[in-house]
């Protein structure tokens, strides 16, 4: 693993696929011009609209988005994560997988993750979310892509951040950098977003790269913003604030190794994967 710059992109995606992809390209180029070699796009970057509209367009969104990610990776010679977009479920026209896709600079797919925790919540601000109404939960734990240059990269999506066992699994499997792309609600994000990201970084001594959605997308759908990069000590290295833009920071293997030596908590785990069995 070498030292390099990573970027967490922040968008205000709308129910307009082509416009969103155009804006994503502008922000990717901005990140690359600042030296980023690893770039993450937020959840729903290609389309953020009503669930029924997303489902109706899922096939088109999936095809255009996969092509877009591979084109961007090759054009800018970067590794890129598309942080969450719908891919239709074969044999079930009423559901799609919320899918994150990691692509290398040759346009090759490196890893794919289907979100397993679905956001079904009634919030005190009056908004109700039923992701499971149109999304099929994934069946597989998040993957890790092992890279000599970029480090071992783990993938998750948004609501996963509230389930620390996911990140314990990733760190146990060797993750050094973890993506948490999100479309975090404004109501919950103001209190929980930063704290959760720092907690996941600290407890797993990993870098966390968290691309985000921000602002108003349609009707009463507002997101928190603050695309963030956190170091393994929990220090916020970059925060995109509340406007569309890019958070960029260095991923430093020496810093990672130093923190893991000073605070070797991963070596002190007592509980094994999968339950309460002592070593």
* pLDDT of res. 113: 98
- Predicted confidence at residue 278, as pLDDT, reads 44
Helix, strand, or coil (residue 145): strand
Which residues participate in catalysis according to the annotation? 43, 115, 158
Per-residue model confidence (pLDDT) at position 135: 92
CA gap 212, 270 in Å, rounded: 34
pLDDT at position 124 is 85
As a dihedral over the C-alpha atoms of residue 87, residue 92, residue 93, residue 99, rounded to 10 degrees, the angle is -10
pLDDT in tens, 49-63: 998 899 999 999 999
The ranges assigned to domains in the chain are: 4-268
> pTM for the full model?
0.95
Residues of the chain with pLDDT under 70: 272-279
What is 4-268's CATH number? 3.60.110.10
Q: What CA–CA distances, in Å, run from 129 to 67, 169, 253?
A: 29, 27, 39
d(CA 88, CA 135): 9
Strand-pairing partners, residue 98, are 86
- Give how far Cα 108 sits from Cα of 26, 80, 98, 145, 154, Å: 22, 10, 20, 12, 17
Provide the pairing of β-strand 36-41 with 79-89.
parallel
pLDDT in tens, 211-225: 999 999 998 889 999
pLDDT of residue 93: 84
How confident is the model at residue 10, as a pLDDT? 98
Contact present, 134 and 95 (Cβ < 8 Å): yes
Which are the contacts of 147, defined by CB distance < 8 A and separation ≥ 6?
Answer: 1, 79, 153
């Amino acid at each position: 693993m070498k030292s390099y710059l990573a970027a967490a992109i922040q968008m205000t995606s709308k129910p307009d696929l082509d416009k969103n992809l155009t804006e994503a390209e502008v922000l990717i180029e901005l990140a690359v011009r600042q030296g980023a070699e690893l770039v993450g796009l937020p959840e729903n970057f290609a389309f953020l609209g009503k669930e029924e509209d997303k489902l109706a367009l899922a096939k088109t969104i999936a095809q255009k988005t996969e092509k877009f990610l591979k084109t961007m990776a090759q054009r800018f010679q970067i590794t890129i994560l598309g942080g969450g977009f719908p891919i239709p479920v074969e044999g079930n026209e009423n559901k799609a997988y919320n899918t994150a896709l990691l692509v290398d600079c040759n346009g090759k797919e490196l890893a794919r993750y289907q979100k397993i925790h679905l956001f079904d919540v009634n919030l005190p601000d009056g908004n109700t979310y039923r992701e499971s109404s149109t999304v099929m939960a994934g069946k597989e734990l998040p993957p890790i892509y092992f890279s000599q240059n970029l480090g071992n990269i783990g993938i998750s999506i948004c609501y996963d951040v509230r389930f620390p066992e996911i990140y314990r699994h990733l760190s146990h499997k060797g993750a050094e950098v973890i993506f948490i792309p999100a479309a975090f609600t404004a109501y919950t994000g103001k209190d929980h977003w930063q704290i959760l990201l720092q907690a996941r970084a600290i407890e797993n001594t990993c870098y966390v790269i968290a691309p985000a959605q921000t602002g108003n997308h349609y009707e009463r759908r507002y997101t928190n913003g603050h695309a963030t990069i956190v170091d393994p000590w929990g220090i916020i290295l970059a925060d995109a604030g509340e406007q569309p833009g890019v958070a960029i920071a260095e991923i430093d293997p020496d810093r990672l190794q130093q923190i893991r030596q000073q605070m070797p908590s991963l070596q002190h785990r007592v509980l094994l994967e999968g339950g309460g069995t002592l070593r």
